């Protein structure tokens, strides 16, 4: 499975001159955790996250008694460009989901812009990955059957899916076609493992 198979597209983006309030409204309205920030040419230059938006944003409650050495924080920037995380990291649409998950977890980030050159074509979030894992086996099975029927005809393949693990039996028992069937099945969102055998096992 590749990033293009599970990414959300089209992408909701912002520009550096937009206000923090506007970006916060977008995050709140769409349930996002981050937004790609694009320059005037549509190139990716940063990402603005929930943490970027809320950092130093709220004044202390008037009832709070500050310590003698505590000074009020400087007012934060009112624009996306003043609070965004930059430079931004993006990954290509052909990136293997295994590599994408590793980066999300290792770098402790919740979303990854998917790019074609410098231009954003999608976003993959942890929620997208969880959504793929949660797909119903019957839906996964139907998608796998559809992909295989395009390649080898509708009656050639027997498909069973249990907890995302796909078992395919090839009636023609051809080694090259079994490899192609494996690749096609692995590209279906929600598939966690693929085993393709011939009629003789």
* pLDDT value for 201: 54
* pLDDT value for 152: 78
- The 3-state DSSP class for residue 17 equals coil
Task: With a cut of 50, list the residues of the chain below it in pLDDT.
Answer: none
Catalogue the E-assigned strands of 50-156: 91-92, 111-116, 119-125
* pLDDT value for 74: 66
- What is the H or E stretch that residue 44 is in? strand 44-49
Residue pLDDT, tens place only, 31-76: 888 999 999 988 999 999 998 998 877 777 777 776 677 666 666 7
DSSP track, 137-165? HHHHHHHHHHHHHHHH-TTSEEEEEETTE
Q: Give the integer Cα–Cα distance in Å for 13 and 130.
A: 22
Sheet holding 157-162, edge to edge: 157-162, 165-170, 193-198
Report the topology of domain 137-198: Alpha-Beta Plaits (3.30.70)
CB 165 within 8 A of CB 158: no
* pLDDT value for 199: 74
* pLDDT value for 137: 95
**From-to residues of CATH 3.30.70.2210 in the chain:** 137-198
Q: Give the integer Cα–Cα distance in Å for 4 and 7.
A: 5
Pick the CATH number of 3-57+79-133 from 3.30.2130.10, 3.10.580.10, 3.50.50.60, 1.10.8.100: 3.10.580.10
Q: Please indicate, yes or no, whether the overall pTM of this predicted structure exceeds 0.85.
A: no
* pLDDT value for 118: 79
């Amino acid at each position: 499975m590749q990033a293009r198979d599970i990414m959300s597209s089209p992408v909701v983006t912002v520009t550096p001159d937009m206000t923090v309030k506007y970006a916060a409204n977008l995050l709140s309205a769409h349930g996002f955790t981050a937004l790609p920030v694009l320059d005037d040419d549509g190139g990716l230059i940063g990402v603005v996250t929930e943490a970027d938006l809320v950092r130093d944003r709220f004044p202390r409650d008037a009832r709070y008694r500050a310590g003698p050495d505590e000074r009020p924080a400087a007012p934060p920037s009112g624009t996306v460009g003043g609070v965004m995380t930059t430079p931004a990291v993006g990954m290509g649409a052909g990136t293997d989901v295994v590599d994408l998950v590793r980066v999300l977890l290792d770098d402790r980030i919740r979303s990854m812009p998917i790019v074609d050159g410098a231009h954003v074509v999608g976003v993959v979030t942890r929620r997208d990955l969880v959504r793929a894992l949660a797909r119903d086996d019957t839906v996964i099975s139907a998608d796998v059957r559809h992909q295989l029927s395009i390649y080898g005809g509708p009656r050639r393949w027997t498909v069973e899916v249990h907890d995302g693990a796909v078992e395919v039996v090839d009636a023609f028992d051809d080694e090259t076609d079994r490899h192609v069937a494996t690749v096609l099945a692995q590209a279906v969102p929600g598939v966690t493992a693929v085993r393709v055998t011939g009629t003789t096992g």
